[in-house]
Amino acid sequence: DGGITQSPKYLFRKEGQNVTLSCEQNLNHDAMYWYRQDPGQGLRLIYYSQIVNDFQKGDIAEGYSVSREKKESFPLTVTSAQKNPTAFYLCASSITDRVNSPLHFGNGTRLTVT
């Protein structure tokens, strides 16, 4: 079955620690994305990557970093510089050579920083 796998589902960290969220897809999609969802809020784009070894900042990239060394993997690091890291993080992917292809989402990682 093709899909997007995010791990872990729940993650707890102490303030001041960096943490990396995993995202793997076997859909053979070129583009991958990280979104953040806060209670009562829409999805906000953190970073996206249209191709391996290239990525772009989204609307709220400060305090986050990503890498795209393989087509199927797009890990997100939440650094200690992120002021409000506790949130629900969603990874997504899409086909880039088809106009208006929808995003496919993983099931998310809920990060709690105390």
Residues that bind other proteins (CB under 8 A): 4, 6, 9, 31, 33, 40-45, 48, 50, 56, 58, 90-92, 94, 96, 100-108, 110
In the complex, minimum distance from the CB of residue 50 to other proteins, in angstroms, rounded to a whole number:
7
Of the pair 17, 62, the CB lying nearest other proteins is at: 62
Would you report the helix, strand and coil content of the chain in percent, each value rounded to 5?
Answer: 0, 50, 50
In the complex, minimum distance from the CB of residue 19 to other proteins, in angstroms, rounded to a whole number:
19
Strands (DSSP E) contained in 1-114 are 4-7, 10-13, 19-25, 31-37, 43-51, 54-57, 64-66, 76-78, 87-94, 104-105, 109-113
Place of tokens 């290239």: 54
Of the pair 10, 16, the CB lying nearest other proteins is at: 10
In the complex, minimum distance from the CB of residue 44 to other proteins, in angstroms, rounded to a whole number:
8
